[in-house]
Structures are given as structure tokens and as C-alpha cells.
Amino acid sequence: MGKLKYLVIHCTATPEEREVTKDDIIRMHTNPVHKGGRGWNRPGYSDIIYLDGELVNILPFDQDNDVDGWEISNGARGINGVSRHIVYAGGIDKGSKKPKDTRTDEQKNTLETYVKFMLLRHPQIQILGHKQAPGANKACPSFDVPKWLKEIGIADKNIYKS
């Protein structure tokens, strides 16, 4: 737990066009391993963006600069106590099963609004894709986050440099 430093962008690593809900995420992450889950004590994401662009809160967030224990999600080892994690449903090509930017226009719009809102509330925050997190060896979120952030006008000082 500490001061909010990072906003980490994820994908659910599910095939394009397959909806994933808040309840699905909670189940996938917190169910015991023998029941198909990861056995974590809490979900890996704070918020999810559905295919239609709807933003759904998974874990409470009081929007101050402190990450309280009840706000922590298990999204990226080593930085969870100072991060907020947003995920969009998708990230995998349904045919090849390979990483692919499957964000719908609605998801892109919601994610842009979310990022800009977080910057208004937390001007010091660093934004990164999960694959940029220290020690991550993943394709998540299946798109180039720094490039996208520049395209939507985010200042270099807020774009995480690994």
C-alpha cells in the first residue's frame, strides 16, 4: 500500500467478440485452482470495460492518491500496492488464438476517457501496459500502449518508460 503511481492497462486474454463480465473475472481469479480459478485472494483488475464500452467497477476506489488495502488488485506483481488496473474484454484473435488488439471503438472511447479522467485526478500517474511492468513476460494488453497514449495526446511525463 502506498501512493498511487501507476495505471496498468490489461486485456482479459479472451477471444475477440467474447464478452467477459465482472463476475467472470472475480471467478477466474478467486476460485480455487481445482475449480478452474487462480486461487487469488482478490481479482487482478480494478475495473473492466465490456465490449459495448460499459465501464464496470470490480473493486472499490475512493479516488484519492493513497492505495488502501481494500483497493489493491493482483494485476502486476511487485507494483499492485501502488497501482490501479483496468482491463478490456478481449485481446486474442479468435481464429489464431494469438494476441491481437481486439478493442471495439466503444472500448477505445471508454479507455481514453478513463485514462484522461485518471490523469485529471492524479496528474503524476504513470500509465503502462501490463507487458511493460517489471518482470512481466506477457503480450497483454495486445496493443502498443505508449504509442496509443501518444496518439490520444497524453504527455510524455505520464507514459511509463521501462
Work out the average pLDDT over 83-101: 96
Split at pLDDT 50, 70, 90, the class of 142 is very high
Q: Which of 76, 49, 77, 45 is nearest to 61 (CA)?
A: 45
Element (H, E) at 6: strand 6-11
For residue 82, pLDDT over 90 is answered with yes
Please give the mean pLDDT across all residues of the chain. 94
Note the pLDDT tens digit of each residue in 19-65.
Answer: 999 999 999 998 889 988 888 889 999 999 999 999 999 998 888 88
pLDDT at 1 over 80: no
What is the average per-residue pLDDT within 136-151? 95
Superfamily, domain 2-158? Peptidoglycan recognition protein-like (3.40.80.10)
User: Structural domain boundaries of the chain?
Assistant: 2-158
The model's pTM is: 0.94
